Structure 1
Amino acid sequence: MNFRNALVATTALCAASAVSAADLEVTHWWTSGGEAAAVAEFAKAFNETEGNNWVDGAIAGGGGVARGVIVSRILGGDPMHATQLNHGRQAEELVEAGLMLDLTDIAEEGGWRDIVHPVSLLDSCTVDGKVYCVPVNIHSWQWLWLSHKAYADAGVDVPSNWDEFVSSAPALEAAGKVPLAMGQQSWQSSGAFGVMLVALGGPELWTKVYAEKDADAAASAEMAAVFEAAAAARELSAGSNVSDWNLATAMVINGEAGGQIMGDWAQGEFAVAEQVAGEDYTCLPGLGVNEIISTGGDAFYFPKQDDPEVEAAQKELAKLLLSKEVQVNFNLKKGSLPVRGDVDLAAANDCMKKGLEILASGNILPDGNQVLSADTTGQLEDLMVEFWNDTSITAEDAHKRYADIIASAD
Structure 2
Amino acid sequence: MYLKRILTALAVSAALPAASHATELEVTHWWTSGGEAAAVAELAKAFDASGDKWVDGAIAGSGGTARPIIISRILGGDPMGATQLNHGRQAEELIEAGLLLDLTDVAEKEGWKDIVNPPSLLESCTLDGRIYCAPINIHSWQWIWLSNAAYEKAGVPVPTNWEEFTAAAPKLEEAGIVPLAMGKQGWQQNGAFGVMVVAIAGVDAWKKVNVEKDAEVARGPEYAKVFEAAVNAREFAKDSNVQDWNQATNMVITGKAGGQIMGDWAQGEFQVAGQVAGEDYTCLPGLGDNEILDTAGDAFYFPKVDDPETTEAQKRLASLIISKDVQVAFNLKKGSLPIRGDVDLSSANDCMQKGLKILADGGIMPSGDQNLTPDTQTQIEDLMAEFWSGDMSAEDAQSRYADIIERAE
Report if aligned partners of 2:16, 2:26 keep a CA contact under 8 Å in 1: no
Measure, in 2, the Cα distance between the counterparts of 1:90 and 1:252: 31
Counterpart AA for 1:212: E
Does 1:181 pair with 2:207? no
- CA offsets 1:307-361 (integer angstroms, 9 cap, x no match): 0000000000000001000000000000000001100001100100100111111
Q: Which residue of 2 aligns with 1:161?
A: 161
Match of 2:24 in 1: 23
Secondary structure in structure 2 of the residue aligned to 1:338: coil
**Which residue of the partner structure matches residue 55 of structure 1?**
55
One-letter amino acid of the counterpart of residue 403, structure 2: D
How far the C-alpha of 1:222 sits from its partner, in A, is 1.0
Counterparts of residues 64-213 of structure 1 (less than 5 Å): 64-213=64-213
- Count of residue pairs the alignment pairs up: 395
Secondary structure, aligned partner of 1:77: coil
Superposition map of 1:334-353 within 5 A: 334-353=334-353
- Structure-1-length-normalised TM-score: 0.95
Give 1:317-396 correspondences, 5 Å limit: 317-391=317-391, 393-396=392-395
Query: What 5-or-longer segments of structure 2 have no aligned partner?
Result: 3-13
Q: CA RMSD in A?
A: 1.2
SS at structure 2 position matched to 1:300: strand
TM-fit CA distance, 1:390: 0.9
Q: Indicate the SS of the match to 2:68.
A: helix
SS in 1 for 2:84: strand
1:43 is matched with: 44
Structure 2 distance, partners of 1:225, 1:161, is: 16
What corresponds to 1:278 in structure 2? 278
3-state DSSP of counterpart to 1:226 = helix
Q: Name the structure 2 match of 1:33.
A: 34
State the 1:264 CA deviation. Answer: 0.3
Give the structure 1 partner of residue 215 of structure 2: 215
1:8 alignment counterpart: none
Aligned position for 1:309: 309
2:151 and 2:157 in contact (8 A); partners too: yes
Task: Return the offset for 1:17.
Answer: 7.4
Q: CA deviation at 1:39?
A: 0.4
CA drift at 1:18: 4.9
Q: Please list every run of 5 or more consecutive structure 1 residues that lacks an aligned counterpart in the other structure.
A: 3-15
AA matched with 1:398:
A
TM normalised by structure 2 equals 0.95
Please tell me the residue identity of whatever aligns with 2:44: A
Percent identity (aligned): 69
Q: Distance in 1 between matches of 2:99 and 2:77?
A: 10
* Secondary structure of 1:258's aligned partner: strand
For 2:132 and 2:115, locate their aligned partners in 1 and report how far apart those are by CA, in whole Å: 17
Paired with 1:363 and 1:317, the residues of 2 have a C-alpha distance of 31
Could you say which residue in structure 2 is the equivalent of 1:235?
A: 235
Structure-2 separation of matches of 1:135 and 1:252: 30
In structure 2, distance between residues paired with 1:243 and 1:60: 13
The whole-number CA distance in structure 2 between the counterparts of 1:142 and 1:317 is 30
Post-superposition offset of 1:136: 0.3
Q: Which amino acid aligns with 2:373?
A: S
| Dislocated runs of 4+, deviation >3 Å | none
Alpha-carbon distance between aligned partners in 1 of 2:40 and 2:139, rounded to the nearest angstrom: 15
2: distance between equivalents of 1:234 and 1:290?
22
Distance in 2, Cα, partners of 1:387 & 1:169 = 21
Helix, strand or coil for the counterpart of 1:247? helix
